[in-house]
Amino acid sequence: SNSHEIDIKQLNAIARKSFPPCMLNVYNILTTQHHLKHFGRLQLVLFLKGIGVKMEDALHLYRSEFTKKLDGDKFDKGYAYNIRHSYGKEGKRVNYTPYSCMKIINLNVGPGETHGCPFKTFEPNQLSKFLSDNIHNAEPGETREIVELAKNKHYQICCTKYLQAKNPGIKLNSIIEHPNQFFELSFSDGNP
């Protein structure tokens, strides 16, 4: 499905450059709060699998973050199985597909949960800050336009504009339908 291998040591830089907001958000929470609830873990791990992160590397990432707050034993017993399972290495060995935008947008996000699409789940102020933190030299008008589009529930158009603001060289003739499509477009674009 993908032709590149992801060097896990570069994942921080890769995330900042090329993860769509839904994945950058859960990745940031994993690496700063050292925990993610069930659907956040699932949303991220299936995406990582889709971009070419090896299962061992995904396990290592989750383990090294979770065990900043949790015993290694607890991680191995409570969480490792699910990650292997998402990679199809446990249970029925189903090859689970990374979630599409429609799936992520329509997920129910309860209190304290951080999965979902930030264009839908973030408050306008939070979204505005996220945009100016992550778009280099964001024009105030650009940020405002995206926040307005989000209020009007045009989440995938927001995401397409966000991608174009980060990677002005990319020519798109359709809107973003899938986080892994976002990633491939951004990652293969040479600009930082």
Q: Which residues contact ligand SF4 by CB under 6 A? A: 20-22, 101, 104-105, 117-119, 155-156, 159, 176, 179, 182
79 vs 122, beta carbon nearer ligand SF4: 122
d(Cα 156, Cα 162) in Å, to the nearest integer? 10
86 vs 186, beta carbon nearer ligand SF4: 186
Shortest separation between residue 78's beta carbon and ligand SF4, angstroms? 27
Cα 11 versus chain centre, distance: 12
Shortest separation between residue 119's beta carbon and ligand SF4, angstroms? 5
11 vs 176, beta carbon nearer ligand SF4: 176
> What are the residue ranges of helices labelled H in 19-87?
21-33, 38-51, 55-66, 72-78, 80-86
Shortest separation between residue 146's beta carbon and ligand SF4, angstroms? 11
66 vs 119, beta carbon nearer ligand SF4: 119
Per the structure block, which two tokens stand in for 106?
């329509």
- What DSSP state is assigned to residue 98? P
- Torsions phi, psi of 59, nearest 5? -60, -45
d(Cα 133, Cα 136) in Å, to the nearest integer? 8
Shortest separation between residue 52's beta carbon and ligand SF4, angstroms? 17
